[in-house]
Structure 1
């Protein structure tokens, strides 16, 4: 089976997911190619330049595929112009709402129109959380299929052995409004421990810092499902996260982690400081998170679902 993946980049968030899926499908014997498209690295020009240049690339190259799989709304334009039997569009999170939180009202209006239009170009729509599937159905009457993004536990074998840093709190994610990093920084002077921020770091370095930490904090204002929660679960690092987006699909409060309201710095502070001294609860949460990810979210568990999805689609 010949498949083309299209994404603005193949690291972090949905782009990182695309890269991991491609790698696993290749290991399974699929012929998967990644479209790499240069674009202008300026905030307001990144997506428009990617849309234009990737679409031109798709039209000029003219190669035929069994499936073209686009990741996020900007990639859908190149998907439209790619010759393929079947077309898939994956969106993690509600795209127009993400744009609304980060950009101007004009950009939001453009994103909303684009979002409505591009959903109709795909034969299949997929997302990584139940809540996003539900919201798109309610918002645009769009039918999404839902697949959790699996965790590749074999990659953790490459990590160095690190010493635990007592009372170290870690943030891993983009330094941007939707990730709520400002909420954590606001309470940093009152936290009875040290915070490290991993905002632009190689995966191996971030994971070694996570492995050495006592708590992972995710103070996001909006999310689909952060991959770093699964990574913390596997390393048995307890997680404190906001109850937004798909996060409650992974974290059952006080069972596999601790959920707090978004934008509430005082409740976040209280839970961090309490967990820093409650070793019994920290260990219980870490162990429960590990069992959850091992039983539900690894490639060993989920790869057959992905393979079946692509095979069924191309044969339909």
Structure 2
């Protein structure tokens, strides 16, 4: 009987986010393969109890360090203790500072353990200061493989630290796709939908400006749903008042049933200033929701302009408004985008495909 491969997935928390959603879907899908045992370790407490419950009901163990301070170095010893006690073969890490803590832990662990890191974004604040090249250089040096969600993520990482080139590999993200859909039978409550963190990176101010342009220039009074939370929420609400669109925009906060909200919307807009993969895009594609997104980061690898969606320049509210209006007005064009996007997500971005690619990588890295 073959020995099962034991994997520990380490992430900051399991609160709502793209990387967290991907990890949840991965461990649930991987559970179907008896050759692997996959557990999760989180650094910080998770507020999303339902997310934890959904993972645990699939018999996936979760070790939570419940750190009170973001950069508590005691985490290094705690991670080391879990890895030693459970005798993991592979430690797969997502996001910073989890990547740093595991890199430090590896200094005190046996050499036969393999470490993998997934790079989810084309940019982070550390890349603004050259001193962090030394820090990141050390962190990445402890990982034998770096998975990048898109080619653009891979290129930006290699540009930052060229030594990483030989250890990087692109594995696109995936999402569960259900064959049956009742999209056409659901009432469309919202004309425009945004889902994501309310932070500068997501470019939400340009979406709000586009809504104002739609109202004043195109005489189109669209109803908008903003799903998610973050530090810019108050600022964005004030902006809505200033633009006199506050009666058209609903801030719904964090929502669990994203599929339901997507099915009840007409157009999905992702106006990001930078983006690694944008897992929310494949969520929209599987829900047959037409997409308008900015032509940045890894987005053009997922969406071909005019084929699976419309791509616009970043920080351009005029073109964003024009593109949203086209999708809303042109039913034939909208139908084309929906059909092409759904075919593409089925072919390239299923959670089954992603999980198989990742489990194969786990096996290959142990055989080297």
Range class of TM-score, shorter chain: 0.7 to 0.9
Report the CA distance shift for 1:28/1:278 in structure 2 as closer, same or farther (over 3 A): same
Give distance in 1, aligned partners of 2:309 and 2:326: 13
**1:202 equivalent in alignment to 2:221:** no
Distance 2:350 2:37 in 1: 22
Aligned to 2:236: none
User: Residues 185-264 of structure 1 correspond to what in structure 2 (within 5 A)?
Assistant: 185-191=208-214, 192=220, 193-199=222-228, 200-204=253-257, 206-264=258-316
- Select the residue among 12, 20, 30 that pairs with 1:15: 20
Separation in structure 2 between the aligned mates of residue 24 and residue 304 of structure 1, nearest angstrom: 9
1:61-210 correspondence to structure 2 within 5 Å = 61=82, 62-63=84-85, 64-80=87-103, 81-82=105-106, 83=109, 85-94=113-122, 97-99=123-125, 108=129, 111-141=132-162, 142-143=164-165, 144-154=168-178, 163-165=186-188, 168-191=191-214, 192=220, 193-199=222-228, 200-204=253-257, 206-210=258-262
Per-residue deviation, residues 62-119 of structure 1 (Å, max 9, x unmatched): 322100111123112332315462110111113xx32269xxx7xx566544322211
Q: Which has the higher contact order (CA 8 A, sep 6+)?
A: 2
Q: CA deviation at 1:33?
A: 1.2
Residue 315 of structure 2 aligns to a residue in which SS? Answer: coil
- Normalised TM-score (structure 1): 0.87
Q: How many residues are matched?
A: 303
Q: Which structure's residues are more often helix, by fraction?
A: 1
Output the CA distance in 1 between the equivalents of 2:131 and 2:12: 18
Unaligned runs of 5+ in 1: none
Q: Which has the larger radius of gyration?
A: 2
Q: Which 4+ stretches in 1 moved above 6 angstroms?
A: 156-162
Q: Is the 8 A contact 1:99 1:111 kept in 2?
A: no
Other structure's SS at 1:65 match: coil
SS at match of 1:9: coil
Q: Structure 2: how far apart are the matches of 1:129 and 1:33? A: 25
Describe the superposition over 1:243-273 as per-residue Cα deviations: whole angstroms up to 9, x where unpaired. 0000000111101100000000111011112
- Alpha-carbon RMSD: 2.7
Q: CA deviation at 1:52?
A: 2.6
Segments of 5+ residues of structure 2 without an aligned counterpart are 48-66, 215-219, 229-252
